[in-house]
Amino acid sequence: MPTYLIVPPTGGVDRLLGIAAPLDGPVVALVVGDTARAESVAHSGVDEVRWIEAAPQVPAEAYAAAVAGIVTSAPGVLLAGRDPASRVLLGAAAGAIGAPVLVGVDEVSTEAGTVVVQHGVYGGIAQRTTVFDGPVALMIDAGGVTAQAGAAPITAVEATPQSITLVSARSTGGGAVDLPAARRVLGVGRGVKAQADLALAQDLATALDAELGCTRPLAEGLEWLPKNRYIGISGAHIQPDLYLAVGVSGQLQHMAGVRASGTIVAINSDPSAPVMDDADYQVVGDLYKVLPALVAELAGNA
């Protein structure tokens, strides 16, 4: 059974390759994108590339039926990232072959032709080991693209896109950010009372050389920070050496994205906030006083 990596025009493949490594069968990348994208994926360590050239002004999602078609002719294990285009392509492919899908995958191995997956359920409140004797689709953080020696052959696949067009695009000015790769992350929550006060958090993040992230309400609803900065089950899954949760209550949906952190520090005025149980250091106090004190202390030692 082949393992397919579903690869849209942007995003990585390294973690998908890591998951694919122990599985039997060839690793086939299904790439939607331009020539350069197909080339770079061909050098990432896959066995084979099937390449659908995306037409100008046509988003990757328009090739969902084409990707599903390729998979249907030889079903296998499907792996994809968590970004919107990956989800649509993976969903269409898995739907076409009736493969079960899992998110929150921790580990994959193989035994006598079966695929054994260790994964979280219900947002990670419990874990299961599930054995599949046929195709299964797994959604994981894709990681980056690391060039390897040797190039896999690329076969171009003709495909007619579904009717989706990109009318226009503009930058939101938020800037790209790779939270999953950050070594230190400071996450802010609704304990911050006004958008202007984010400066306090940004100052500490700068002093610590940390990326600034947030809980979902700050990015959606309040829109104080761009959507690519929120952390949690439906946002970024991070694994820094140090995570500081500042004015974050620690709801399950947020903590699901930070559990892989090395050290967790919670700064919260409520000693019984759920985040405290998940923290190595529980700083009980007002973030408006603690953040400036930390900045001052770090500056004093510069």
Partner 1 sequence: MRIAVAYKWAGDPQEANVGPDGVVDMSRAKPVVSDYDAVAIAVGRQLADSNGAELIGLSVGDPAAAASMATKTALARGLDRVVVVTGAGLTSAGATRTASVLAEAVRRIGGVDLILTGDSSIDAGAKLVPAMLGGILGWPTLTDADKVSISQETVTLTRVVGDQEEQLAAGLPAVLAVSTDAAAVKAPGMKDVLAAGKKPVEVIAVTDLADAHAGEGAVRSARPLDPPARRRVRIDATDPAEAARTLLESLRADGVLALRKGE
Ligand X SMILES: Cc1cc2nc3c(=O)[nH]c(=O)nc-3n(C[C@H](O)[C@H](O)[C@H](O)COP(=O)(O)OP(=O)(O)OC[C@H]3O[C@@H](n4cnc5c(N)ncnc54)[C@H](O)[C@@H]3O)c2cc1C
Q: Which residues contact 81 (CB under 8 A, 6 or more apart)?
A: 8, 11, 12, 16, 139, 140, 141, 142
233 is a contact residue toward partner 1 (CB under 8 A): yes
Using DSSP, state whether 21 is helix, strand or coil: coil
What's the closest the beta carbon of residue 188 comes to ligand X, in angstroms? Answer: 7
Query: 167 exposed, middle or buried (CB, 10 Å; 0-12, 13-18, 19+)?
Result: exposed
Tokens at 278, concatenated? 């998940």
Q: Are 45 and 148 in contact (CB under 8 A)?
A: yes
Binding segment (CB under 6 A) for ligand X, from list 139-147, 164-172, 253-261, 293-301: 253-261
What's the closest the beta carbon of residue 43 comes to ligand X, in angstroms? Answer: 33
Residues from 25 through 84 that contact partner 1 (CB under 8 A):
59, 61-62, 64-65, 68, 82-84
Tell me the C-alpha to C-alpha distance, in Å, between residue 80 and each of 30, 146, 168, 181, 204.
10, 17, 26, 18, 35
Output 37 or 87, the one with its CB closest to ligand X.
87
Output 3 or 249, the one with its CB closest to ligand X.
249
What's the closest the beta carbon of residue 213 comes to ligand X, in angstroms? Answer: 9
Give dist(CA 237, CA 258) in Å, integer: 6
Residues from 148 through 177 that contact partner 1 (CB under 8 A):
162-176
Identify what 249 binds: ligand X, partner 1, none; CB under 5 to 8 Å per kind: ligand X
Residues from 161 through 220 that contact ligand X (CB under 6 A):
189-191, 215-217
Q: Are 29 and 155 in contact (CB under 8 A)?
A: no
What's the closest the beta carbon of residue 117 comes to partner 1, in angstroms? Answer: 8
Task: Tell me which residues touch ligand X (CB under 6 A).
Answer: 189-191, 215-217, 230-235, 247-249, 251, 253-254, 257, 268-270, 273, 286-288
